Amino acid sequence: MVGETLQIGLAGLGTVGSGVYEALLRNRDLLEARAQISYQVRRIAVRDKTRKRGVEVDETLLTDDWRDLVDDDEIDIVIELIGGTTEAYQLVRAALEKGKPVVTGNKALLAEYGSTLFRLSREKGVPLYFEASCGGGIPIVQSLQHSLICNKVSAVVGIINGTSNYVLTAMDKEGLSLREALQQAQSLGYAEPDPLLDINGWDAAHKGLILAMLAYGAPLGSEAISVTGIEHIEPVDFSFARRLGYTIKLLVVIRYHERRNALELRVQPSFVPQQHLLSKVDGVFNAIAVCGDIVGETIFYGRGAGKNPTSSAVVGDVVLAMRECRLPGYHTGFLPYAEGVKALPVEATETSCYVRFRVKDCHGVIASIATIFSQHDIGIAATSSAEGEHDGTEGWNHLVFMLHVCCWGQLQEALGDIRKLPTVVGEPVVLRIESFQTS
């Protein structure tokens, strides 16, 4: 081994924290042999020292104050796994100020405070590592920073939330309602008791902001991303999708428009062609497609969440941090290298679209909707219908329009007029049809 034993401070001993602690102990000989550096966990910060845990820990290592990690001059590296943003931000900022490299898996923290923390990292010359923040065990951060470093990235498109992907898969394969699929996911431990951020798309959005930062060199705020969740998807949408040669996935889409010098950044449920590899990504698995001008399209696939995949990513960063602690003045933590990227307003984005209406079962309803689309210069590629439920007096049908490529803002104006029709019931379901074009 080279040099003195490096000391690690771990903040958080929940699901991921306990997985990281176990991995550091279980594979210690392997890690030390590969890294050629010896280490030990010196201190562990937890909120409640009396709480029983699923991992055996020497009680003398525990503290209920994360500041003990920052203020201990013997600790070389801090791992932040406490979650949330407020306290986590205070911890990460204090550690960087003290010159201690930080490893985190906190996507919400980076989405909210990334700009400030990466600026501080640059000023102090102290790295912040975050492989586990998006994609779980998928090595997407290191790949974008190193393996694909010579590429101009034209697009990043991916499935990066395992909970929503499990729910959509169950709806597709088993014909479950969203509520039934979510309950199944919770019973299997794939969804949190409060799955709001998974279902409304914001968990994926936080990860998307990190991916955009890596691909284009500058942190972006949450105002730059358009987010739509899966709350309104129904089994009938999968029936239409299969009939038309698609499946439905919650996608993050990051696409650079060179002619506009602007970045399209959105999260939304989308039709994915059945022949594309992303359509085959089921259950809790994630996949991220990156299009580079030299490498072409590459796809990274693996478990996107869970104790073990996330712990693997965290420990990988820990080893990287240990190696780079031996190289003063050099590190591979992210450093912003570009001016702020201009975000393309969602109203200006263009795709083909699937729109499903609930309409009253009466004469002329297709013509009235088609007329409004025509008035807004939106072309119709196809229409389809399926019988709906009946309320005992007057029934209604599902009516689908497949639209040619159109401007999102233009579509919203047309939908505003269509909602006023007396034959249209409730809110339409709008899904983009992703083409996977790189420019």
Q: Which positions are annotated as active-site residues? A: 207
**Residues 255, 263: contact at Cβ < 8 Å?**
yes
Q: Where are the alpha helices (DSSP H) in 217-266?
A: 235-244
- Dihedral, CA atoms, 194, 198, 201, 202, nearest 10 degrees? 70
**φ, ψ for residue 134 (rounded to 5)?**
-150, 125
What's the rounded Cα separation, in Å, for the pair 135 and 201? 15
Give residue 36's identity as a one-letter amino acid code: Q
Using alpha carbons, select from 107, 280, 346 the residue that is nearest to residue 204. 107
Q: How far is CA 415 from CA 7, 30, 345, 375, in A?
A: 59, 59, 19, 12
Using alpha carbons, select from 348, 105, 344 the residue that is nearest to residue 225. 344
Q: Three-class SS string for 123-173?
A: HHCCCEECHHHCCCCCCHHHHHHHHCCCCCEEEEEEECCHHHHHHHHHHHH
Q: Where are the beta strands (DSSP E) in 178-314?
A: 226-227, 246-257, 262-273, 285-292, 296-303
**Residues 321, 32: contact at Cβ < 8 Å?**
no
